[in-house]
Structure 1
């Protein structure tokens, strides 16, 4: 997993509340346990006019030009600004995979569904919870500032707009440590390799019948 330290990037606003994981990545695309290849179907039912199925050539599909992720001014955005309860619904980790594969590296909202929130950290993305009033101010800022970019500093736990004061945010210390160091669950386990091998040697010595 790539470490997350600092990010300065374009912001894309998704002005919807209660965005569920089936909207983020519809169920028919959950055909793989690989973490890549889902970005093309992120928000599939909102990005396209036609119903999508796995294996379709995206160049043959009809894009919805009114959906924000399809608008040229937001091309390449890495920060998703959205509303409360983002990521609700089923616990599918594919939702986080789709966002990452599309290019999203940080999300800002008043709140996130708990499981989705944890899945973001496990996949190298930073979900930032801010007061609803501040989120509204950022939506207003995006609306009047074409090409708005924000600078996010995880170590300092602050967001810096182009002008004005920095916006502080909270993050749990252990999740912060893991994200700063690029540690997912597998990497954390591998840090204990010597202890795991010692345990296995000891178990083989004391319970040899398990290995016969």
Structure 2
């Protein structure tokens, strides 16, 4: 999993509440269990004007030019700002995979579905909770200033809106669980955390081989 310490990038707003996981990645694209390849179908029903299906050549599909991700000023956006209850609906982890594969490192919203919120941390995407008023301010700044970037400082737990590297507003502070912060700073997913105890695991297995050698016998003979 990618480490997250600080990140600065173009911010894009999807000014809607209750964006569910079916909107983030529609159900027809859930056949794969690989974590990559979902970015082209992120917000598929909103980005394209036709009906998307797996295996289509997305480069030839008609775009919805009104949708923010399709606007030139938001090309290469890596921070998504939305309204309350982001990621509601089904528990599909593919929703976070699609955001990550597209290039989003963080989402900023007033609230999230619990399952989606947890899935973000497990996949290296930082979900930041700010008040509805702070989110409204950020969305206004995005709309008013083309090229606006957001700098996220995880160690300091701050969000700064910038234009040409000049802050446009005082920093917004956010809270994050200390254990989740530790995992993001070090790039540890569940497997990575387990591997930090490799020596202990090997020592345990060695002890068990002495105590219960029959468990480790080759039973295929």
The range that moved more, 140-149 or 128-137, is: 140-149
Shift, 1:166, TM fit: 1.0
TM-fit CA distance, 1:158: 0.6
Separation (CA, whole Å) in 2 of partners of 1:174 and 1:202: 30
Give structure 1 regions of 4+ aligned residues with deviation exceeding 6 angstroms: none
- For residues 35 and 167 of structure 1, what CA distance do their matches in structure 2 show? 31
3-state SS of paired residue (1:36): coil
Displacement of 1:165 in angstroms is 1.3
What SS is found at the alignment partner of 1:128?
A: strand
1:137-188 CA deviation, whole Å, 9 max, x = no partner? 1111111111111111000001112223111110111111110111111100
Query: Aligned partners of 1:185, 1:80: CA distance in 2, in Å?
Result: 25
Partner of 2:213: 208
> Is there any run of 5+ residues in structure 2 with no aligned partner, and where?
162-166
Q: Secondary structure at the match of 1:65?
A: coil
Give per-residue Cα distances to partners, 1:19-42, cap 9 Å, x unaligned. 111111111111222111000000
- The alpha carbon displacement at 1:205 in A equals 2.3
Aligned-partner SS, 1:195: helix
- Alignment match, 1:138: 138
Which residue in the other structure is 1:124 paired with? 124
**Matches for 1:156-175 after TM superposition, within 5 Å:** 156-161=156-161, 162-175=167-180
The total of aligned residue pairs comes to 212
Please, what is the CA RMSD of the aligned residues?
1.1
Superposed displacement of residue 206, structure 1:
2.0
Partner of 2:202: 197
Higher mean Cα deviation, 56-65 or 38-47?
56-65
Partner of 1:19: 19
- Could you say which residue in structure 2 is the equivalent of 1:33? 33
Structure 1 residue aligned with 2:101: 101
Which consecutive residues of structure 1, in runs of 5 or more, have no partner in the other structure? none
Residue in structure 2 matched with residue 183 of structure 1 by the alignment:
188
TM-score when normalising by structure 1: 0.97
The match for 2:76 is 76
User: 1:200 & 1:21 partners in 2: Cα distance?
Assistant: 41
In 1, the alpha carbon distance for the partners of 2:168 and 2:59 equals 39
Alpha-carbon separation, structure 2, partners of 1:127 and 1:31: 25
